[in-house]
Amino acid sequence: MVPWLNAGLLVVSTALTFGFYVASAGPAALAKRIGTEAAYRRCTVYRMLSGVFMTVAGVNYVVYAFHPLPWSFPAGFPWPYWVSALIAVVIAVPSGIVWVRGMKDAGEETMVLKESHSMYGGIYTRIRHPQAAGEVWYWWVFAFLCHSPFLAVYSLVWLPLFHLMSRAEERDLLIRYGDAYRAYMDRTGMYVPKRRVGG
């Protein structure tokens, strides 16, 4: 019973993480309907709820390691646990550097949205979504630490979800910053730096 309940909760928490994040990514559009202060306050609540459900999904990964679904999917990888742990570290270090740098350069707006916030500097001068670019790989970090092939496959779900969340942010940022953000999109890569032409 526990494996099925946990798997179901994982799917629900994944969907709610995505849904609340997309809702949180539209403060400028929402401000046109309910006013700036109320819109940014509501979107901050949505962002925090997204974080809560993302944490729940992470807990579901851990629970799955101890209570996998009773099916023919392999319970573990065909190598010792230390290999999975090493793979997790190899993924975690570079993606963690990008993720943490993105959070540092975004400041408090990682979770608290403010209309008065200016466009970011730092790593954001090279790529537009460093937090997404780093954070998404941590689902595989969890999967390998849990030594679970199923979770490694399930983690593929997060790739399109993170991309759609990033796109939702960009739609609102175009409303918020207009041509300045459009020019910024032209000179930066979404997840990796754009190759500079002509040196």
Task: Please tell me the total count of domains within the chain.
Answer: 1
Structural domain including 126 reads: 2-187
Is 29 a domain residue? Answer: yes
- CA angle, 93 then 20 then 149, to 5°: 45
**36-86 confidence digits (pLDDT tens):** 899 999 999 999 999 999 999 999 999 999 999 988 788 899 999 999 999
Is 192 a domain residue? Answer: no
Mean pLDDT over residues 145-161, rounded? 97
Mean pLDDT over residues 6-11, rounded? 96
Residue 115: band (very low, low, confident or very high) from pLDDT cuts 50, 70, 90: low
**167-198 confidence digits (pLDDT tens):** 999 999 999 889 999 999 999 999 999 876 55
Q: Taking the CA of residue 172 as centre, how many other CA atoms within 13 Å lie in the half-sphere pointing to its CB?
A: 22
For the record, the structure tokens of 91 come out as: 């993924």
Q: What is the CATH number of the domain that holds 46?
A: 1.20.120
| Cβ neighbours around 29 below 10 Å, total | 16
Residue 199: band (very low, low, confident or very high) from pLDDT cuts 50, 70, 90: very low
Is 196 a domain residue? Answer: no
Give the pLDDT score at 34. 94
Is 82 a domain residue? Answer: yes
Cβ partners under 8 Å of residue 166, min gap 6: 128, 129, 132, 190, 191
Q: Taking the CA of residue 80 as centre, how many other CA atoms within 13 Å lie in the half-sphere pointing to its CB?
A: 3
Is 199 a domain residue? Answer: no
- CA angle, 131 then 21 then 133, to 5°: 20
Give the pLDDT score at 112. 67
Is 194 a domain residue? Answer: no
Give the pLDDT score at 13. 98
Is 122 a domain residue? Answer: yes
Record the pTM. Answer: 0.90
